[in-house]
Amino acid sequence: MKFSLVSNRWFRILLHIAVWVVLFTLPFLMRPQREMPPAREIVSYMLGNATFIAFFYLNAYLLVPALLSKRHYWRYVLAVIGGYATVVLLQSILSLYFHRPDQKSFWPHVLFLFFLFLFFLASSMAFRLIGDQIIADQRAKDTENEHLKTELSFLRSQASPHFMFNVLNNMVALARKNSDLLEPSLIKLSSLIRYTVYEANEEKVDLDKEIEYLKSYIDLQQQRFGKNVDFTVDLDQVDDHYQIEPMLLISFVENAIKHGTGFMANPSIDIKLKAEKGRLDFLVKNRYNPDSLEVKDRTSGIGLSNVKRRLDLLYQQQHQLNIVRSDGWFTVSLQLTLH
């Protein structure tokens, strides 16, 4: 809102007018006596100020971009000298016409105009350079935002087929193991595909939908492994209507199932989620076999590296991710500020 107001042309024009009015009325306001000066003095003062204002914008919008910015330094110096000579000439004409000063006051008047000219020259250069810097910063920010959007779109496009690859493998396993479970599993798979096709394209989704998505995926995995893997799942503690980046949490669950199943004693996966007071606490633990971990890491695809990058892009200082391997447990703990 603030930037759109400042970028409005008419607002900028009114702002400039207000600054000039305040600047040039200060001498009258600081007078010990507040009586109105003669009309001739006011007209002379206004016309004299107009010469400085004209040079201010001439320097800011023509001389600096056309000469100084292109490193034509000598041309710029000559143009400034010419501008100063023009200001002195016009000011002298106004002084002779309205005040008719004596000859002794001419050179002090020229010296006074020189320092006043330097003030407007410096102000004009600062105005132009600061304006250019603001525009350059905004363009850089817009470019960075476009890069971030492109990268996020790429990461999301990776997440969806990676997920589908794993789920379709589960369908094959269920079909071979017990065909009676295939139909309800396909129904859940249909809801998962609907989520990845439609919801995952949104910038944010309701946390409740993301949780339902996780539950359906975990249910399919539990059907696949049956009693061979001990699942402990608690995904129900949400105290408000929060939103989250879609398909952000699934990679942690996929990683736990990849490394928490296979040739090991008592495979176990523990998944907990709690969202309250604007904070998400997500914990995923799994037992792992150190001997097979290195092999699976080389074939784990995008997995955790994907979600780490997405967290860095989207939540920056609003998240904390801890990954620990200790005592045969692989633990991922995520704390996230929710909106």
DSSP codes joined into one string, 259-309: HSSSSSSS-EEEEEEEEETTEEEEEEEEE--HHHHHHHHHT--SHHHHHHH
Q: Are 331 and 197 in the same domain?
A: yes
Q: Would 262 be classed as within a structural domain?
A: yes
What is the C-alpha to C-alpha distance for residues 79 and 64, in angstroms, rounded to an integer?
Answer: 10
Q: Are 194 and 135 in the same domain?
A: no
Q: Are 107 and 231 in the same domain?
A: no
The confidence score (pLDDT) of residue 321 equals 93
Q: Are 32 and 116 in the same domain?
A: yes
Q: Are 210 and 72 in the same domain?
A: no
The confidence score (pLDDT) of residue 143 equals 65
Q: Would 162 be classed as within a structural domain?
A: no
Q: Would 251 be classed as within a structural domain?
A: yes
The confidence score (pLDDT) of residue 1 equals 44
Q: Would 242 be classed as within a structural domain?
A: yes
**Domain enclosing residue 243, as ranges:** 178-337
Q: Are 325 and 191 in the same domain?
A: yes
Q: Are 92 and 221 in the same domain?
A: no
Q: Are 188 and 324 in the same domain?
A: yes
Render pLDDT for 191-209 as a digit per residue (tens, 0 to 9).
Answer: 887 887 777 777 788 999 9
What is the C-alpha to C-alpha distance for residues 244 and 208, in angstroms, rounded to an integer?
Answer: 9
What residues of the chain score a pLDDT lower than 70? 1-8, 27-42, 97-107, 109, 143, 145-164, 166, 179, 291-303
Q: Would 158 be classed as within a structural domain?
A: no
- The token pair at 86 is 């023009």
The confidence score (pLDDT) of residue 195 equals 82
Render pLDDT for 266-282 as a digit per residue (tens, 0 to 9).
Answer: 889 999 999 988 999 99
Q: Would 165 be classed as within a structural domain?
A: no
The confidence score (pLDDT) of residue 282 equals 95
Q: Would 152 be classed as within a structural domain?
A: no
Q: How many helices (H) and strands (E) in the chain?
A: 10, 7
Q: Are 212 and 329 in the same domain?
A: yes
Q: Are 117 and 70 in the same domain?
A: yes
- The token pair at 331 is 């633990």
Q: Would 160 be classed as within a structural domain?
A: no
CB–CB of 213/250 below 8 Å? yes
- Residue 230 belongs to a domain with what CATH number? 3.30.565.10
Q: Are 37 and 123 in the same domain?
A: yes
What is the C-alpha to C-alpha distance for residues 1 and 21, in angstroms, rounded to an integer?
Answer: 26
Q: For the chain, how many structural domains are there in total?
A: 2
Tokens 């695809």 belong to 301
Q: Are 79 and 221 in the same domain?
A: no
